[in-house]
Structure 1
Amino acid sequence: MFSKITLIVSFMLLSSSTIIAQDKPEVEIGGALRFNYNLSSWKEGQKKRGGDFGYDVFRLNAKAKYKGIKLNAEYRLYSDGFGGGMLKQGWLAYDFDEKNEIQVGLTQVPFGNTTYNSHNWFFSINYYIGLEDDHDMGVKFTHTDKKWNYALAFFKNAEEMNFGNNSDISNSRYSYDVASIDLDGDGVLDLRNKEVNQVNGKLDYNFGSDSISHKIGGSAQYGGLYNLDTEKMGTHYALALQYQLKYKRFGVKAQVSKYKKSTRGPEGESKEIVAMTAYGAPYLVAASGNTYTIGASYTLPVNWGPVSSLQFYNDYGYLEKLNTDFADSIMNVTGVLVTAGNVYTYFDAAAGKNQPWLGPVWEPALANGTNGANWEVRFNMNIGYYF
């Protein structure tokens, strides 16, 4: 397999004269504009004014194809408070044949249920620790067939925007990556680690019929965690078993994952936590844990003017932290996706314990957490026009 990947890369870089000619470039431009309303149980002022409704994101998507080389890119513009502008994905690809493709650039990490391990707008708890819809910089080979799907990838690093000698990663990113954080408010960053030299492998097997189908598989990743202070290399790994069911209008997604991040920071710095960041703000995450997620959906076709379908779902996630002094994290999202032409609207009731986006505690929620934390609930409506 690795010799095959090497052959493909060499072919792309050195043998453009043999690529099948394409007379004209093909270009597609699309995107979305989304707005968001939320009402949170822990925000007293917000409850008094009946919640808040405002701008979520404007995004642009570009796809192109010319002489056998494809481009796929998505750039998002959030408000400054959520990280501002950021590239979600951006890669070049070459199709070796109908089943085999290689991608180079900022591409989705092949781990667990993809593209998503969830049905709702919030994703699953895996997303918040970097194990769902993660995108990193590297090269990925994928094989897609009726029975067997697999992917092999090497990622040099996460999204890199600061190319200094020992530069901390930027907080303006779509997916969560290991990062740096100011723990004591002195203006000096702590826990300064970066993801480097990561390898991934993912294998899925499909079986069933047209009316009921199953997909079951496993995923693994291993890489380095480079500490910017000591200039020493730690390690991180993650493993997962994933499953998907489709039966008529029903769907199920389930996943069990295990991860561990071993850092080599300065003496006295905790090895039980790491910093992770996205959307403009870092927080802490337990350095090792297991996650358990399961979600179910039911799609109901309707004919209500422009409304064509309702997809009802419930997604549950549990983060078991292996440090027994830490309080575990839980989230559950119940909702419905309403499709009306090009408008997609998520109505979600998201509840959580020790989940930074679903409660009053931000920085330590996914790390040591709070023993005896109460359930907090956020009602969220996200409406978007996709073009």
Structure 2
Amino acid sequence: MTKLSKLTLALMLAGASSNVFAADLDTLQTQLKQLKQQMQMLEQQLAAEKTKQQQINEQHEQQVAQISKKADTKIVAVAESESDKKDEGIKIGGAIRANYSINSYDDDNKDRGGDFDFDIFRLNVSGEINDISLNGEIRFYDYMTVIKYAYLGYEFVDGWEGQAGITSVPFGNGPYNSHSYFFSTNYYVGLEDDFDLGVVVKRKLKDNWKLDLGFFKNDELGGVDGGSDKSKRYSYDIVGSRAPNEGTYAEPVNKIGEYNTFAGRATYQVEHSKNVITDLGVSLLSGGLHDGNDRAGSYGAWAVHLDSKINNWNVQFQHGEYDYDLDDNSNRFAVGAYAYYDTVSSKATMTNFNVAYNYSLEWGPVTDIQFYNDYGIIYDKSDNSANTWMNVTGMSVAAGGFFSYFDFIQARNQPFIGGTIIGEGDTERRFNINLGYYF
């Protein structure tokens, strides 16, 4: 092949390669253009999706805000309703109770297999109007009608409340130094769940200290010259000195009543841990006795006490003395309660030890059961009579509005268990069921 032929062939091949390269470049440019268009479409779709999601988020936020606003409105409405309800007036509640018992000291009762009787119908009022609270309870028994308490309350300084009327005498473990239906031995000498006419100031600040101070002009029936039947009352009080020739349950000839009594109770709460707390306290009481014409003596009492909650357990301890110094030198005095009179030693020592266990459950309507054993003794009496002691083993059951006690009592020289505090009797027993509906 000549040089000219070779050159011609080279030029032809170069032209062909150029044409192929140009065709490939056009194809590549077309593909890039298509890819760019696809990317633009994808970006538009992503932008549309983002806009749509923003709209959804904004709608969700608006809905949440509306729901929150409704919730706030509901809370405010409820708060206003509760406030209005608080100022509307007085709430009324109460209870109806019946009692079954079989005991060792009544042969007729044993022959019948025990007795089932109406116990009580009571009404309670409570409420607050213009920052003044009202609390009261009236009890209807088949043999008497009594007011247990009735007082007005007012928080005159932040953390300090005053009560005036028939109100609780602050003394010992509160509100009760017991767990059973029968209280403790202290109740029957007027030193548990006692109510008199006077004024009480309560310290209710949110710290470990609590303080109750009271001044009582006289007992709930008006003292020595108040009321025609001194025995018809809820809580025990002195109603007279007991002459040696008077019967244990006789109405006293020499009438006496309490007056100008001061009472105080201070407690300090020790927080051992989250579920273990102990209230340590001391109580003091001092007052005068009057026979209607002149001062007839004085009386006083003191006690140290402990109330400890250890998880589901409750332990109570109390120890103290009372002393009625009568001007006629009598070593016994008469008390009145529950429409009958009884006799008490004028001076004695008291000790109580109680244990309880609280058990929560869901068994039909039953939600709470408390098992307990309460023991109390009164000894070193001024009249040298035998010791009074009472041991109560039992349980209380809560089921909705129903609340019931099941108690087995063993006692000696104990009121309502076949004896009296000045007695020299035998150990007696009683099985008792108290059924109550509370509303």
Contact map agreement 2:170 2:264 (CA 8 A) in 1? yes
Residues 169, 179 of structure 1: CA spacing in aligned structure 2 closer, same or farther, 3 A cutoff? farther
Contact map agreement 2:256 2:296 (CA 8 A) in 1? no
Cα distance in structure 2, aligned partners of 1:255 and 1:231? 35
Matched, 1:136 2:196: yes
What's the CA shift string for 1:317-366, capped at 9, x where partnerless?
Answer: 0001333631110001000001111100100001110112111x4xxx21
What's the CA shift string for 1:89-109, capped at 9, x where partnerless?
Answer: 000010124521000000000
Cα distance in structure 2, aligned partners of 1:143 and 1:162? 28
Residues 226, 347 of structure 1: CA spacing in aligned structure 2 closer, same or farther, 3 A cutoff? same
Matched, 1:151 2:212: yes
Aligned residue number for residue 119 of structure 1: 179
Partner SS for 1:46: helix
TM-score by length of 1: 0.86
Q: Give the residue type in structure 2 aligned to 1:211.
A: N
Residues 124, 189 of structure 1: CA spacing in aligned structure 2 closer, same or farther, 3 A cutoff? closer
Shift of 1:68: 1.2
Aligned residue number for residue 262 of structure 2: 199
Contact map agreement 2:198 2:215 (CA 8 A) in 1? yes
Matched, 1:79 2:139: no
Contact map agreement 2:346 2:383 (CA 8 A) in 1? no
Matched, 1:366 2:421: yes
What's the CA shift string for 1:211-268, capped at 9, x where partnerless?
Answer: 100000100010001124x633310000000100001110011100111001124xxx
Residues 342, 35 of structure 1: CA spacing in aligned structure 2 closer, same or farther, 3 A cutoff? same
**Structure 1 vs Structure 2: percent identity of aligned residues?**
36
More helix by share: 2
Instruction: Could you tell me which runs of 5 or more consecutive residues in structure 2 were left unpaired when the two chains were aligned.
Output: 1-83
What's the CA shift string for 1:98-125, capped at 9, x where partnerless?
Answer: 5210000000000001110000000000
- RMSD (CA atoms): 2.3
Aligned residue number for residue 275 of structure 1: 334
Contact map agreement 1:161 1:169 (CA 8 A) in 2? no
Q: Give the residue type in structure 1 aligned to 2:259.
A: V
Cα distance in structure 1, aligned partners of 2:393 and 2:170? 26
What's the CA shift string for 1:136-182, capped at 9, x where partnerless?
Answer: 00000000233000011100000125885x87762111100001379
Aligned residue number for residue 276 of structure 2: 212
Matched, 1:40 2:103: yes
| Pairs within 5 Å for 1:178-327 | 178-180=238-240, 183-184=246-247, 189-208=252-271, 209-228=273-292, 231-265=294-328, 271-323=330-382, 325-327=384-386
Q: Give the residue type in structure 2 aligned to 1:323.
A: S
Cα distance in structure 1, aligned partners of 2:336 and 2:228? 11
Contact map agreement 1:286 1:321 (CA 8 A) in 2? no
TM-score by length of 2: 0.76
Partner SS for 1:128: helix
Cα distance in structure 2, aligned partners of 1:109 and 1:162? 15
Partner SS for 1:45: helix
More strand by share: 1
Q: Number of matched residues?
A: 351
Deviates most, 191-200 or 116-125: 191-200
Shift of 1:188: 7.3
Aligned residue number for residue 12 of structure 1: none
Aligned residue number for residue 433 of structure 2: 381
Residues 45, 188 of structure 1: CA spacing in aligned structure 2 closer, same or farther, 3 A cutoff? closer
Shift of 1:207: 1.3
What's the CA shift string for 1:20-69, capped at 9, x where partnerless?
Answer: x9994332110000000010111111111110001000000001211111
Cα distance in structure 2, aligned partners of 1:261 and 1:294? 24
Q: Which has the higher contact order (CA 8 A, sep 6+)?
A: 1
Aligned partner of 1:31 among 91, 94, 106: 94
Q: Give the residue type in structure 1 aligned to 2:327.
A: R
Q: Give the residue type in structure 1 aligned to 2:217.
A: K
Instruction: Could you tell me which runs of 5 or more consecutive residues in structure 1 were left unpaired when the two chains were aligned.
Output: 1-20
Shift of 1:190: 2.2
Cα distance in structure 2, aligned partners of 1:317 and 1:132? 12
